[in-house]
Structure 1
Amino acid sequence: MMLQKDSGKVLDAQSARVQSYINSSEKQKSLYKRTLFIVSISQILGGAGLAAGVTVGALLAQQMLGTEAYAGLPSALLTFGSAGAALLVGRLSQAYGRRTGLTAGFMLGGLGAIGVIFAAILNSVFLLFPSLLIYGAGSATNLQARYAGTDLASKKQRATAISITMVFTTFGAVAGPNLVNVMGDFALSIGVPSLAGPFILGAAAYILAGTVLFIMLRPDPLVIARTIQAINQESSNKGLLPTTEHTENKRGIIVGATIMVLTQMVMVAIMTMTPVHMMHHGHDLGAVGLVIGFHIGAMYLPSLVTGALIDKLGRTVMAIASGITLLLAGLLAAFAPGDSMVLMVIALSLLGLGWNIGLISGTALIVDSTKTSTRAKTQGSVDVLVALSGAAGGAVSGMIVASSSYLTLSIAGGILSLLLIPVVIWSRGVRK
C-alpha cells in the first residue's frame, strides 16, 4: 500500500510539473531553449561517434577481406542498422517521448562500437558485420535528435532549430577523424589493432551522449508539445479557440522524404569510396582523416546559415540549391587529380554542404507536413528510407569503383542529384 501511495505521489508531481509548462508560455520558451542546449551537448558527443566509423570502416573491412570490392559494405551495414534503429527510435519516441527513444538509440550505438573493437581483436568478419549493424543505431539517433529541437518551435523557427542542434555536431564530427592517428596509437598501446582505435572513441561518445539525454532531457519536449496540441484541439472543438491542428500533408511528406533520400544516397556513395581513392594515390591515414574531417564539418557547420535561409527563402528554393551543390561536388571529385589534397577537400566540403541543405530542407518539410500526435512515428519511418538510401549508395559505391572507377561513381552521383529539381517543381503545390 505504501508503495502504491508513493508511486501515486510521484505521478502527481510529474503531472503537476508538466501542467506548469502547459500553463506558461514563458516556461515553454525556456524549455525550448533548454532542449536545444541539451540536444546540442549530445550532438557534440554523437558527432564524434559518427565520424569514427565513417573514417575507418571501409579500411577495416578492406584489411579483413583482402579486397576493395566490398569496401563499401561497412557503410551499407551502418546504414542498414541505422534504418532499423530509426524505426525503433521513432516508435519509442512516439510512445514514451524523445528522452527514451534517443537514449536507447545512443546506447545501442555504443554497444555496436564495442562489438567492432572485439571483431578487430579477433579478426572476425562474422562479428564485425553484426556489430556494424548495431553501431548504425548511433548514426540514426544522431540524426533523429534534430527533431527534438522542433517540438516546441514555431513554423518560422523550425529550420533554424534543426540547424542549431546540427551545428554542434561539427565539434565532435571534425575532431573524430582528426583523432584517427591518436586513437590508433592508443589502441596499439593496449594491444588492439590500430584501425579499431576510432571505435573506442565511438563507444565512449555514444554512451556518454545517451547518458546526457537520459539525465537532462526532462521534461520531455515531445510530451509537452503533444499535450499542448491536445488541449488546443479540444478547445477548438468546443469553439473556444480557432483550430490550430492541421491535417497531415502527404504530398509534403513525400517531397521532404525524397529530398533527404536523394541527398543521402549521393553523399554516402561518394564519401564512402573517397578514403580508398585517396589511399590509392599515396595519401596516408592522417590525410584521409583531414579530408573526411572537412567533409563532416561542411555537413554540419554551415547549419546556422542554411537553416535561417531555409526559414526565410523557403524549403523548395533551398532544395534546388542542394541539388546544384551536389552536382558541383561530384564533378570536382571526378576530375580533380587524385594527389591534390586541396581539390579533394573542396570537393568533399561541397558534398557535405549539399547534404546539409537537403537534409534541413527535407526535415523542415516533414515537420511542416505532420501532426504532433503522429509526428515522431512518421519521422522515424522517413528516416528509415533515408538510411536505406544511404545503404544502397554505400553498397553500390565499392562495386562501381571496382568495376569502373571513382570518376564514374562521382559523375553518376552528381547527375543523380539533379533529380531534386523535378521533385521540387512537382512540389509547388506544397506550402513553403
Structure 2
Amino acid sequence: MSQRRTLSVLVAAQITGSIGIGASVSVGAVLAADLSGSAAWSGSASTMSTLGAAVWALPLARVAAARGRRLALSLGWLVSMLGALLVIAAAVAHSFPLTLPAMLLMGAGTAANLQSRFAATDLADPRHRGRSLALVVWSSTIGAVGGPNLTKPGASVAEVLGIPPLAGPFVFSAVAAALAVVVLFVALRPDPLASNGSRGRNLRVGWEVIKSSPQARFGVATLAFSHATMVSLMAMTPVHMQEHGATLTVVGLTISLHIAGMYALSPVMGWIADRWGRVRTVLCGQAVLVLAVVFAATSGDSMTMITVALVTLGIGWSMSTVAGSTLVADSVELARRPAVQGVSDLLMSLTGAIGAALSGVVLTLITYTGLSLAAGLLVLPVIVFSLTAPARGRVPSQL
C-alpha cells in the first residue's frame, strides 16, 4: 500500500513538474541565441540547465539521505521555480549573462525529476523494480510532450503580462514547478526513505560502491554517456531547424515527439529490463542510439528525417536510461542507495552538460552532420564497460 501511494504521488509530481521542463527545452536555445546575438551561444541554455542538474544532484541526494525524499524533491522543484522566474527577468532586461545562472537554477528541477525515478524503487519488489522506475519515467510524458507546444500560448501569456514572447513559456515553467512542490511536500507521506530507515549515509559511500562494483560502473557509464549522446544532439536541433526555415511551431512539435520517444514507451522498457535483463536491454538501447545518429547525419534539410532521428534518439535514450537506472538501483543495498544514486545523477548530468556545451561549437565548425556523427561516438565507452558487467538474469541474486 505504501509503494502504491508513493508511486501515485511521484507520478502526479512528475506530470506537473515536467511541463516546466518541456516548456523550456524548445525555447531555451532560441532565447539564448536571441539575447546573445549569436547561434554559437545557443547551446548555453541546455548546457547551464544540464550543468545545474549536476550541481544540484549531490546536495539533493544529501538532503534525501539526511531528511528523506519528500524534502529533497520539494526543494529541487522550488529552486527550479526560482530559476524560471529569473529567466523571465533576464528576458525582460535583455540580459544574456543573467540567463546563465537562471538556467543553472532551473536544472534543480531536472535533478529532482531524475531522483524521483529512484524514489520509485525504494519500496519496490526487486522483481518489478524496473517497471516501478519506468512508471515514474513514463509519467513525465504528458507534461514533457505538451510543454514544447506551449510556445504559442506562452507568447499570448507574455503579451498579457507585457514581457518578451520567448519568456512566456517560462511562466508555465514557474507555475508547474510550484505545483510539483505542493504535491510532493503535502502528499509524499510516509516518506519512502524514512519508512525503510535508509537515511543518513555519507555520500562518499556512493563513490566507493561505484568503484568496487562492475555492475554499478556499467550502470553509471550507461546513464552518463547515453545522456550525453542525447543532449548534445537534441540541444542543437532547434537551431539547425530554424536555420533551415522551420517555424517555432514545427520545432516545438519535433521536440515534443522526441520527448514522447524518451518517455512514452518507458513502461515497455521497464518490462523488457525486468524480463530480458538489464545488460541486454542497455546494449539494445545503444544500437538504437547509433541508428538515430545515422538518421540525423543523413537528414539534410528534411524536417521529416530530423523528426524521425529525434524520435529514435528518444527511444534509445529511454531503453538505456531505464535499464541503466535499474542496474544502479540493483547494485547496492537500500541503505547505501541514495548515495550511489546521487553520484550517478551527478555524472549523468555533468556529461550531458559537457555535451551541450560543445555541441554549439561543433555545429558551427563541422555542421549538423558532423555533430551527429560525433555524438554517435559516445556509444563506444558503454560498449567497453559492458565487457566487464555481469551478464546476469532478470533480478540480481543479492540486493
Indicate the TM-score class for this superposition, using the shorter chain for normalisation. Answer: over 0.9
Corresponding residue number in structure 2 for 1:179: 150
Q: Conserved in 2, the CA contact under 8 Å of 1:252 and 1:430?
A: no
Q: Conserved in 1, the CA contact under 8 Å of 2:233 and 2:375?
A: yes
Post-superposition offset of 1:429: 6.0
Corresponding residue number in structure 1 for 2:133: 162
Structure 2: distance between partners of 1:421 and 1:58: 31
Corresponding residue number in structure 2 for 1:44: 15
Corresponding residue number in structure 2 for 1:381: 343
Corresponding residue number in structure 1 for 2:289: 326
Corresponding residue number in structure 1 for 2:175: 204
Of the candidates 298, 306, 312, which is equivalent to residue 275 of structure 2? Answer: 312
Three-state SS of the structure 1 residue aligned to 2:334 is: coil
Are positions 1:342 and 2:304 aligned together? Answer: yes
TM alignment of 1:249-328, pairs within 5 A: 250-328=213-291
Q: Conserved in 2, the CA contact under 8 Å of 1:89 and 1:105?
A: yes
Three-state SS of the structure 2 residue aligned to 1:179 is: helix
RMSD: 1.7
Q: Conserved in 1, the CA contact under 8 Å of 2:221 and 2:381?
A: no
Q: Deviations over 1:141-165 (max 9, x none)?
A: 1111111110111221111001111
Post-superposition offset of 1:425: 2.0
Corresponding residue number in structure 2 for 1:148: 119
Of the candidates 379, 394, 416, which is equivalent to residue 356 of structure 2? Answer: 394
Post-superposition offset of 1:416: 2.2
Letter in 1 for 2:219: G
Q: Deviations over 1:235-275 (max 9, x none)?
A: xxxxxxxxxxxx98622221110000010000000000000
Q: Which has the larger radius of gyration?
A: 1
Q: Conserved in 2, the CA contact under 8 Å of 1:73 and 1:394?
A: yes
Structure 1: distance between partners of 2:252 and 2:143: 13
Corresponding residue number in structure 1 for 2:206: none
Structure 1: distance between partners of 2:73 and 2:152: 30
TM, length-normalised to structure 2: 0.93
Post-superposition offset of 1:227: 6.4
Q: Where in structure 2 are there 5+ consecutive unaligned residues?
A: 200-208
Are positions 1:82 and 2:53 aligned together? Answer: yes
Q: Conserved in 2, the CA contact under 8 Å of 1:324 and 1:418?
A: no
Of the candidates 311, 327, 348, which is equivalent to residue 365 of structure 1? Answer: 327
Q: Where in structure 1 are there 5+ consecutive unaligned residues?
A: 1-29, 229-246
Corresponding residue number in structure 2 for 1:425: 387
Post-superposition offset of 1:420: 2.2
Post-superposition offset of 1:116: 0.3
Structure 2: distance between partners of 1:50 and 1:225: 31
Structure 1: distance between partners of 2:382 and 2:316: 11
Letter in 2 for 1:132: M
Structure 1: distance between partners of 2:358 and 2:81: 27
Q: Conserved in 1, the CA contact under 8 Å of 2:144 and 2:256?
A: yes
Q: Conserved in 2, the CA contact under 8 Å of 1:251 and 1:430?
A: no
Corresponding residue number in structure 2 for 1:128: 99
Structure 2: distance between partners of 1:298 and 1:202: 21
Q: Deviations over 1:382-431 (max 9, x none)?
A: 10000100100100000001111010010121232243222212213667
Three-state SS of the structure 1 residue aligned to 2:390 is: helix
Structure 2: distance between partners of 1:369 and 1:105: 25
Letter in 2 for 1:255: F
Are positions 1:53 and 2:15 aligned together? Answer: no
Structure 2: distance between partners of 1:417 and 1:200: 36
TM, length-normalised to structure 1: 0.86
Q: Deviations over 1:154-186 (max 9, x none)?
A: 221111001111111000001100111111221
